[in-house]
Amino acid sequence: MLCVFNGVISDPKIKTNIIPNIEHSKLAKVNAIILHRTSASTVESTLNAWKTKNTGAHFLIAKDGTIYQTAAINKRCWHVGLLRSRCRIEDSCSEKDTEIIKKALHSSGSWKSKFKKVYQHEKTKDYPDRYPLNSDSIGVEIIGAYLGKSGDKGLFEQIQKAQSKSFLWLMTELLEHFSLSFKDDVYAHDSIARKKVNEGVKASQLLQEYCQ
């Protein structure tokens, strides 16, 4: 059981390194956990980058397995980005959804502006009819450089053995703490938002194999 004080976990396995500028408004409800890769190869470069930005995640796992808590779990982090349409991906849209999304994607302007319109529509829905947002999710980042694309696949550095061990421990504890399901409430970042291809996929597969 995790011991949590004002959103900060007290545990010898977790190093507290709160970065105030990536913490935003109150996170009243956690419906899901989103898995990320940093695209950077070192924990130092990631922490330094987050100190100069307003985006980041709640946890960061270094290659040596060190777990850093970088934001309180009762604070929002901006880690999701432009949400994809869940019903469109899962082929379950109502006629109204289909019409709204089609109109957004065929509107004038850049693709980013079109994706923003889809995102704004998704925000009107409740979870799990939509994918999780910044307002109801925790972000876990695993250090790993982005190596580029091979065909239609995004390539990241392999998750190290020490990282895997720490990641599985942290996820087990967080899932229990928030009463979440590893099957239904954990998402690879690329599967729900417009980010680098395959971001978080290997971590998601690792968790699935562990929990089976």
Mean pLDDT of 155-175: 96
114 φ, ψ (degrees, to nearest 5): -70, -45
Residue 92 falls inside a structural domain: yes
The pLDDT confidence band at residue 144, using thresholds 50, 70 and 90, is very high
Give the CATH number, domain containing residue 71: 3.40.80.10
User: What is d(CA 84, CA 67) in angstroms, rounded to the nearest whole number?
Assistant: 29
What pLDDT does 45 receive?
Answer: 96
Alpha-carbon distance of 8 to 12, in angstroms, equals 12
Say whether both 105 and 29 belong to one domain: no
pLDDT at position 153: 73
99/198 same-domain check? no
Query: What's the pLDDT tens digit per position in 3-62?
Result: 999 999 999 999 999 999 999 999 999 999 999 999 899 999 999 999 999 999 999 999
Within this chain, do residues 59 and 139 fall inside the same structural domain, yes or no?
A: yes
Is residue 112 located within the same domain as residue 143? Answer: no
In a domain, 128, yes or no: no
Total domains, the chain: 2
> Is residue 75 situated within a structural domain?
yes
Question: Which residue, 204, 200, 174, 202, is CA-closest to 189?
Answer: 200
Kindly state whether residue 127 falls inside one of the protein's structural domains: no
The Cβ-side half-sphere exposure at 132, using a 13 Å CA radius, reads 28
Q: Are residues 50 and 94 located together in one domain of the fold?
A: no
114 lies in the same domain as 147: no
Arithmetic mean of pLDDT over the chain: 95
DSSP letter at 157 equals P
Residue 16, domain extent: 4-81+133-211
142 and 55 in a common domain: yes
The rounded distance, in Å, linking the Cα atoms of 207 and 171 is 8
Residues 6+ apart with CB under 8 A from 116: 82
Query: pLDDT digit string (tens) for 93-113?
Result: 999 999 999 999 999 999 999
Whether the pLDDT of residue 151 is over 70: the answer is no
Residues 92 and 74 in one domain: no
Task: Report pLDDT digits (tens) over 117-128.
Answer: 999 999 999 999
Report yes or no on 173 lying in a domain: yes
Q: Are residues 23 and 99 in the same domain?
A: no
Same-domain check for residues 172 and 206: yes
